[in-house]
Amino acid sequence: MNTSTNFTTNPCTPELGSSNRYLASAVVYGLVLAVGLPLNTLSLWILLRSHGFRSPCAVLMVNLAVSDMLLALSLPLRVYYYATLHWPFGPATCTAAIMLFRVNIRTSSIFITLISVDRLIALVFPLRSRSLRTSACALKCCAVVWIIVTSLCIPEIRKMYSSLKNCSNIPCFEFRVPSSNSYIVSVSQAVFLLMLLLVNIVSTVVVIIVLRKRPSTGAAKVNNKMNVILIFVVNMLVFMTFFLPFTLQLLMYNDNQGRIRALICLASVNCCLDPLIYYFSLDSFWQDNGKRQTDVGTYSLSRSMERS
């Protein structure tokens, strides 16, 4: 496979693919941009205007929306490249566009998992978790996530930029930086994503079991059980549909770049479905904050229990 070998050793020489794949990539990214950018812009506006940072759930969702916005803002560059197969914007812009996607995959998976864990704690321990489930604590957790993810990306940014700046014709989005520890990085990222998926699966199963045991009437009942379950189901489906195939490909670690690029396209679609998480997770998503309880994230889960 001479093409793959050259692709790995020389980042300035992209692996040749069919014109149909490039056209399909441009179309998919264009559709994701057309749907994801307006949806996430609207969601972020509603979250900040109606919910603010008054609950830990809202804090996590604001950060998830910001992560998706960053991905959506980088998509016009991907659409342009795959439509023209030409990159006139320099190595710094290419590096930034690629890293915005990687940051989105990492931060989105973490924030989605944190939302599931927050919902689980709110359901199982609605009163005892109040001291832990605060907006301040959620803000600190989000800050730690952004700092860690950004710090881990710095070596990738430096290596990617140093490889691209020597290219006369930059094959942006169609190259892989040669590295001796690429396998370790890929496997580590895959294992981490699989661990987050496991947390989402366990959370979903536990919630279903707990809700089945909760009475339908009385002080301990949980209203809108279907909505509560949908929170976890949507989170788990986002992981299994958009992140799991990409994760399994990382574990295989082969030179089938066409498949990798297709899975990257698929993973980018996650930003279009994340607004469903906001809708099902926050009570009265469209209502003004003054018309709702302070903790909008736990009201439907624990309001009956708080009366007892």
Contacts of 184 (CB under 8 A, 6+ apart): none
pLDDT at position 212: 79
What pLDDT, on the 0 to 100 scale, is given for residue 222? 52
- Looking at residue 142, its pLDDT comes to 94
For residue 226, give Cα distances in angstroms to 71, 205, 207, 218, 222.
31, 14, 11, 18, 10
Looking at residue 219, its pLDDT comes to 42
DSSP structure class, residue 218: S
pLDDT, averaged in runs of 10, over the chain (308 residues): 42 65 89 90 86 84 90 91 88 90 88 88 81 88 94 88 82 70 74 88 86 60 65 81 78 64 83 76 47 40 38
* Separation between Cα atoms, residue 107 and residue 216, nearest integer Å: 37
Res 214: pLDDT: 67
Q: Give the three-state DSSP class for 219.
A: coil
Q: How much is the pLDDT for 256? A: 59
pLDDT value of residue 220: 44
Joined together, the tokens standing for residue 187 give 């496997």
pLDDT score for 289: 42
The sign of the CA dihedral 53, 62, 134, 103 is negative
Which sequence spans correspond to the domains of the chain?
19-307
At 261 the pLDDT is: 78
Q: Residue 4's pLDDT is what?
A: 38
- Structure confidence at residue 145 (pLDDT): 95
DSSP type of residue 293: -
Give the amino acid at 256: N
- Cβ-based neighbour number of residue 175 at 10 Å: 23
pLDDT value at residue 307: 37
Is the distance from CB of 12 to CB of 166 less than 8 angstroms? yes
Kindly tell me the sign of the dihedral angle through the C-alpha atoms of 299, 42, 97, 255.
positive
CATH number 1.20.1070.10 given to 19-307: yes
